[in-house]
Amino acid sequence: MELAVARTSKNWGPPSSGRGLQKAFVVIGINTAFSSSRRRHSIRETWMPKGSKLWRLEKEKGIIIRFVIGHSATPGGVLDRAIDAEEAETKDFLRLEHVEGYHELSTKTRVFFATAVSIWDADFYVKVDDDVHVNLGMLGTTLSRYKTKPRVYVGCMKSGPVLSQKGVKYHEPEFWKFGEEGNKYFRHATGQIYAISKDLAAYISINA
């Protein structure tokens, strides 16, 4: 479906159609989990500014950075309260209407893009895992090259062997679909870090 058709069918205007959203250059969502407090601490101590420096980056450079997390299967439980306490101290979370779970990561990413588009009118939206450390200067320089281009995806592609042996990490239960033993996955986008432009994020938001 074309983006224009999707907008028409759901009565959705362009992301920059004067909805009063906060303008930004890029929104960076760091995908995190309840058990990842050490990773978040590492990020805050390295590439992610803290406190007033984080807000200065937002105001002066248009770079929004948030840890992205939903809620537990028991809202208001100990896991949620721990994040609430951390958020009260750091004020660097984006909380999603989403139940956290390993098998729900794709859904979480879709919800992140849809939520981010509803809050910020950005040129780019980035999803990054919390075990990835980012060079913000290089990221900004790279994205700037594509600012005038529509429907942009910036990321990495990968391939690799299909693991048919049971008991190994990343075992592929449906390995037979990929042909003979020892075959490789088709080349596909890796999910550790990637950026998409405004139109693509809006499309995901419309069709999430």
Taking the C-alpha atoms of residue 202 and residue 208, their distance in angstroms, rounded to an integer, is 10
Q: What backbone torsions phi and psi does residue 131 show, to the nearest 5 degrees? A: -105, 15
Percentage of residues in the chain having pLDDT higher than 90: 72
Domains defined along the chain, listed by start: 3-11+20-156+189-207 (3.90.550)
pLDDT recorded at residue 48: 98
Mean pLDDT of 7-13: 39
Q: What is the pLDDT of residues 50-87, one digit of tens each?
A: 999 999 999 999 999 999 999 999 989 999 999 999 99
Q: What is the pLDDT of residues 103-113, one digit of tens each?
A: 899 999 999 99
Q: Pairing between strand 93-99 and 120-129?
A: unpaired
Q: What is the pLDDT of residues 156-168, one digit of tens each?
A: 988 889 988 899 9
